[in-house]
Structure 1
Amino acid sequence: MSTTGAAMAAITLSEDQLDPYVTHTPTRRRLTGPGLPGDSRLFTFEELCRQGLRTVGDSTGDTGGRLTAELRDQLVIGALLDPRGTAGESVLLDGATGAVTTTYFLYDRPDLMDRRPLAPSLTTLVRFATAADELAGLRGQFASYAGRYGPKAAAEASRHLLAVFEEGTGGEVPPFWKAAALIRPLALVAGPGAAPGLALDLPSRLLDQEFGPGRMWRFEDVDFPSTLTHEPTRRFLRETGLPEDDTLLHLDTDVPLPTLAEHYAYQGPEGFDPTRLPRRAAHLIRLGHLVVGNSLVVDGDTGEVLNWSEPEAALYPLNTDVSTLAFTLWLLHREKAMDATLSGELTTDAHDQLALTMIHTLSTIDPATTTTPPAHHYWTRAFLDEGCGVL
């Protein structure tokens, strides 16, 4: 086992280390020659460095023969990564054919384990991962998109990325890569904030076109409490507004926006102890709620968007500001529309892989996605929870 480069640029194996596991000649050449990337944002192959080649059967310790014969001899070579670098679903290699698949290890029920296609070969896998990384960094074959933003740029990048994936799979693109081609370029829709104060500059009428003009709620100055002093936030809520989408966000539109302290004084649940409210509750403006017990609030001084968890009596970062909140809502609505067009293909075939793609995409435009622990970040939890129906 060897690595090259200071950042572990490549992971290679010797001919002896491949025996008797890998008999597929092109795969042997790949692993003894160029190797596998050690710095991919989508995958980690450190498993090879720690364990060497080992089979699924050895990894699960399945002595009862509950694994299928096909799965038992697959080789564990790595895992998918989330934007924080946390390993998830395992990546498998077929030593006889060179095909690459994924699986979740179910140590208590190995008989329920199965595989999902990822790439026909390691070379194709590396090429796909490189293309996805180049899109995220707007470099390499996607360098021409640097500085270009808006729906047209996103659509062109999506077609470009999908063409890369179709070339390597004969047009039968696995769900993981199809989701990447359709979703990840959407990060190009909004550019960096043109004016100081907000992270993103959303294209004019983007939200109206997505949700419909009748579903957008724009606030007036009389709706804002005096403690909402962050002018870029006031301007965004006044001029752009937020969608009234009951499946994602329930806005407070019946009365002027209350501070969190006012909400609990006049509208909160009976018997709630006000001493549990966060410090500066009078400077936290409640925009509405996400699900019962989770209030969407904005810091009146900084414009940061937070999730107030009533059961936990805790504040957690949600979005950098109202511009990234609006983009998140747009992204979720766009994904649902795409999935409907594809007859549910994205969510039915690989909900968890779609969720991972959504998290990667959101992290590109909003660092709150990666700086908040997953257990405390509402959007991350909602993406991953198939039962809640956000995706």
Structure 2
Amino acid sequence: MSTTDTVTTTAITLTDAGLDPFLLHASAHRRPTGTGLPADSGPFGFAEPVRQCGPRTVADATGGPGDLLPAGLRGRPVIGGLLDPVGPDTGPVLLDGAAGEVQATCFFRDRPDLMDRRPLVPSLSTLVRFAAATDELAALRGQFADHADRYGTEAVAEASRQLLAVFEEGADGGPAPFRKLAALIRPLALVTGPGTASAPALDLPPRLLDEEFGRGGVVRFEEVDFPATLTHEPTRRFLRGTGLPEHAFLFLLDTDLPLRTLAEYYGDEHDGAFPAGRLPARAGQLIRLGSLVEDTALVVDGTTGAILSWSPPESALRPLCTDISTLAFTLWLLHREHAVDERSGHALTSDTYDQLALTMIRVLSSIDPAGTPTDTDWHYWTELLQDEAGGVL
């Protein structure tokens, strides 16, 4: 199996004169001065400054914190960046000018001395080829065109095997973290297909949650469990037929049935200690489904079916997921990632956390753009996934 080595986006072509101070490795010259580098491809971008003046050093690219940078990084050439789907670049992509290896790093503005290098791929050509294959999977075109309209766990497993085969070809036994991430995590988006206009946003496989959490770990509701203000029929059907996991990573379902509105919950549980004036507008139409970490409630709008988070300490109501089906997918995705990471000996989280977080965000954003919005400064899933210190993944 092979993939073409063609750049499908606008290419950035550099000259030998701009590369000579940095890139001594012959193959490192051939790609940028020949077919060029893609302006952006998958999780990688080769930024406009590279187009204008060639690679910069880490010291230049990070604002020149001088001798605070590790000595081995100051003069390393930056060839591009890891692209964050919900924000700016998260870290430079580096090139070992002597060996030709591509590496990644994160820049901590307050602690530049903590920067280190993590291997990505053996060469620039390999990086571009890998990124092109990942793009084809995301768009279900090229060698992955036959996956269009195919969903479920078997489709995920087949796409994962196919992508891993592409990555293994010509990798020369080089560093594997990027290959593992892309091949094991990115295809998880294929587990579900789109819903219809009168149904939830996603068409989850019938037994997906049961297989992941165990049939006894999934709670299904009855009509008597719904408050009168839950009038959104697709949400009612989903809770009756598919249900939600009782215990999921970051989520605990309320099992004190029937479900209650926020107004009822605080009236019952806190006996008026939480003033009604601090509750969100339409608290009588917001039905509490359970709790997230850090004293945050997960609620569904009984009229529209939108899923929101409610933070009592901040008196803040924020969008969380498009609807109940995308919430279920998010909970499934988080649980599946933990299972994949355990099977890999925790290599994903221990070696490449920043890249793992970006890959997870990309999977979520491809399924539920409302789950990782780009028009807000803060979002629950995005913040949690990027919090390496908090150990979310």
TM-score by structure 1 length?
0.92
Mapped contact 1:41–1:83 kept (Cα < 8 A): no
Point out the more displaced range, 118-127 or 35-44: 35-44
Q: Which residue of 2 aligns with 1:45?
A: 46
Taking the aligned partners of 1:228 and 1:149, their CA distance within structure 2 comes to 30
SS in 1 for 2:18: helix
Q: What is the CA-CA distance between 1:225 and the residue it aligns to?
A: 0.5
SS in 2 for 1:297: strand
Taking the aligned partners of 1:41 and 1:226, their CA distance within structure 2 comes to 45
Q: Which residue of 2 aligns with 1:54?
A: 56
Point out the more displaced range, 167-176 or 238-247: 167-176
Taking the aligned partners of 1:84 and 1:390, their CA distance within structure 2 comes to 18
Mapped contact 2:306–2:322 kept (Cα < 8 A): yes
1:375–1:311: structure 2 CA closer, same or farther, 3 Å change rule? farther
Mapped contact 1:12–1:32 kept (Cα < 8 A): yes
State the AA in 2 paired with 1:209.
Answer: E
Taking the aligned partners of 1:108 and 1:284, their CA distance within structure 2 comes to 41
Q: What is the CA-CA distance between 1:40 and the residue it aligns to?
A: 2.0
State the AA in 1 paired with 2:28.
Answer: T
Q: What is the CA-CA distance between 1:194 and the residue it aligns to?
A: 4.7
Matching residue within 63, 71, 92 for 1:68: 71
Matching residue within 256, 259, 270 for 2:258: 256
User: 1:36-88: per-residue Cα shift (whole Å, max 9, x none)?
Assistant: 1113241221141365322224445354385233x233101211112235211
Q: Which residue of 1 aligns with 2:3?
A: none
State the AA in 2 paired with 1:309.
Answer: S
SS in 1 for 2:260: coil
State the AA in 2 paired with 1:101.
Answer: Q
SS in 2 for 1:371: coil
1:105–1:301: structure 2 CA closer, same or farther, 3 Å change rule? same
1:32–1:372: structure 2 CA closer, same or farther, 3 Å change rule? closer
Mapped contact 1:251–1:287 kept (Cα < 8 A): yes
Q: Which residue of 2 aligns with 1:277?
A: 279
1:51–1:258: structure 2 CA closer, same or farther, 3 Å change rule? farther
Q: Which residue of 1 aligns with 2:133?
A: 131
State the AA in 2 paired with 1:237.
Answer: L
Is there any run of 5+ residues in structure 2 with no aligned partner, and where? 1-7
Taking the aligned partners of 1:66 and 1:387, their CA distance within structure 2 comes to 22
Taking the aligned partners of 1:225 and 1:243, their CA distance within structure 2 comes to 20
Q: What is the CA-CA distance between 1:177 and the residue it aligns to?
A: 2.7
Taking the aligned partners of 2:387 and 2:160, their CA distance within structure 1 comes to 26
Matching residue within 96, 114, 122 for 2:116: 114
State the AA in 1 paired with 2:29.
Answer: R
Taking the aligned partners of 2:71 and 2:59, their CA distance within structure 1 comes to 9
* Pairs within 5 Å for 1:137-176: 137-176=139-178
Mapped contact 2:156–2:191 kept (Cα < 8 A): yes
Taking the aligned partners of 2:67 and 2:251, their CA distance within structure 1 comes to 49
Taking the aligned partners of 1:183 and 1:65, their CA distance within structure 2 comes to 35
SS in 2 for 1:281: coil
Identical amino acids, percent of aligned pairs: 61
Normalized per residue, the structure richer in helix is: 1
May I ask how many residue pairs the two structures share in their alignment?
A: 384
TM-score by structure 2 length?
0.91
* Pairs within 5 Å for 1:159-308: 159-194=161-196, 196-245=198-247, 247-268=249-270, 271-308=273-310
Taking the aligned partners of 2:167 and 2:387, their CA distance within structure 1 comes to 28
SS in 2 for 1:185: helix
Mapped contact 1:166–1:173 kept (Cα < 8 A): no
1:68–1:174: structure 2 CA closer, same or farther, 3 Å change rule? farther
1:253–1:341: structure 2 CA closer, same or farther, 3 Å change rule? same
Taking the aligned partners of 2:90 and 2:388, their CA distance within structure 1 comes to 16
Matching residue within 320, 323, 343 for 1:341: 343
Matching residue within 86, 91, 94 for 1:92: 94
State the AA in 1 paired with 2:19.
Answer: L
State the AA in 1 paired with 2:278.
Answer: R
Mapped contact 2:372–2:381 kept (Cα < 8 A): no
Q: Which residue of 1 aligns with 2:26?
A: 25
SS in 2 for 1:207: helix
Taking the aligned partners of 1:205 and 1:257, their CA distance within structure 2 comes to 24
Aligned-pair Cα RMSD in Å: 2.1
Point out the more displaced range, 60-69 or 22-31: 60-69
Residue 16 (structure 2) pairs with residue 15 (structure 1): yes
Q: What is the CA-CA distance between 1:178 and the residue it aligns to?
A: 0.9
Taking the aligned partners of 1:269 and 1:58, their CA distance within structure 2 comes to 59
